[in-house]
Structure 1
């Protein structure tokens, strides 16, 4: 089934939306969240302008939905970690709600940028920026050379810079 034409996307949606919603509801235990993720799945297909033939629509939809669930879960963890960190600050140092929202949005953009990177590049970035490790310590932890760490961090920093600039 090709989804490069509106009719094909409509057909895919018509034939599989209810099934996907029910699958998500069973997985998540939340009908409203299942509604959101089912809709996001079809929006993702539409945004990607998928033009390849979809031979097995349900596994295809499940793959996209699982990815969206993982992204949502990671965003929730990121937000919870940020809010927990804020709760440890003295009240005078807690940023205003607008600043908190901007910081969360920036964190989500960085997370999304890092998501597209190889695991070692992502881990090197996190070790450098969250744990403050040196190139040598990161190289030891990842069992790579310091020049590899430098390349990893250059790639990750560039990716994040571009993500935040957009």
Structure 2
């Protein structure tokens, strides 16, 4: 038996974990596919084979669920990728988007300075509520309230 072979009790344990995590009845198939990936990749460099197999099976389950939901995407078989039609937005859709963006800018200018700063830190810079709270030395709850206030105001402002 090699270092990466999975003894039967371990297989059952991994199978049970994958089934519990993914909630799928095809956990054994997922585990087999994960083992195949593992073998193709090679065991070198994998510090925790069990964790690798569980994560790989979970990823496979997520991919499978997406395919079931949206249908499989057929690969493009042509030679020239540039010939694939890429739909561009209609001029009226572009105009409407620009108008909404302008309304959003105007609405942001109407927010009080603290709420605007917190909203922009969260939405534009991608900071978490916790990071904003630490940076501005306020509570996470205060950050949540400012973001909520901004969203409510801007939703009404843009829709008017």
With the shorter chain as reference, the TM-score category is 0.3 to 0.5
Query: Comparing both structures, which one devotes a greater share of its residues to helix?
Result: 1
**TM-score, normalised relative to structure 2:** 0.42
Larger Rg: 2
**TM-score, normalised relative to structure 1:** 0.40
